[in-house]
Amino acid sequence: MLLQDILDSKLAQVVKVHQDETVAETIKILEDMNVSGVFVVDDNDRLSGIFTEKDVVYCFATGVQAADTRVREVGRGELITFEASTQVSEALSVASKKKMRHLPIVEGDEIKGMITYRDLVSHVLPEICFMAEAM
């Protein structure tokens, strides 16, 4: 199974914010769109990061002034992306090792979508249960 299979089964919703949006505006988008993470893009609409619920907690815990802080200022270090042709098992392994909850799927400069760790588990679990029953 490929990550593309999971993308195909989800609503293809790519939620982006410009890196100059404020943290407060970005949090509002998370709430309005009912998503747990958004893509952060630069002036050329290229992926420069992601902003997730975990970043909201970080901002709150460290006293970041959400109305005055640009979302690019809160970003994490290394951004790990995946191609849609990546095997689910490989992505699950990387996500587990790196403690990733959100996996950006990118082909070249095009953002294809976001897969969560929950999406991965939801697709793998029935297969594991089937194999366990067969044993």
- Give residue 10's pLDDT: 83
- Give 57's Cβ-side CA count (13 Å radius): 5
**Three-state SS sequence of 72-101:** HHCCCCCCCCECCCCEHHHHHHHHHHHCCC
Tokens of 30: 């998370």
Please tell me the predicted confidence (pLDDT) of residue 123: 82
pLDDT in tens, 85-132: 999 999 999 999 999 999 999 999 899 999 999 888 888 766 655 555
As a whole number of angstroms, the distance between CA 87 and CA 68 comes to: 40
**Which pLDDT belongs to residue 46?**
93
Residue type at position 56? V
**What is the pTM (predicted TM-score) of this model?**
0.86
pLDDT at 18: 97
What the block records as the tokens of 111 is 């953002």
Q: Can you tell me the distance from the alpha carbon of 32 to that of 21, in angstroms, rounded to the nearest whole number? A: 15
Q: Which pLDDT value is given to residue 122?
A: 85
With H, G, I as helix, E, B as strand and everything else as coil, classify residue 114: strand
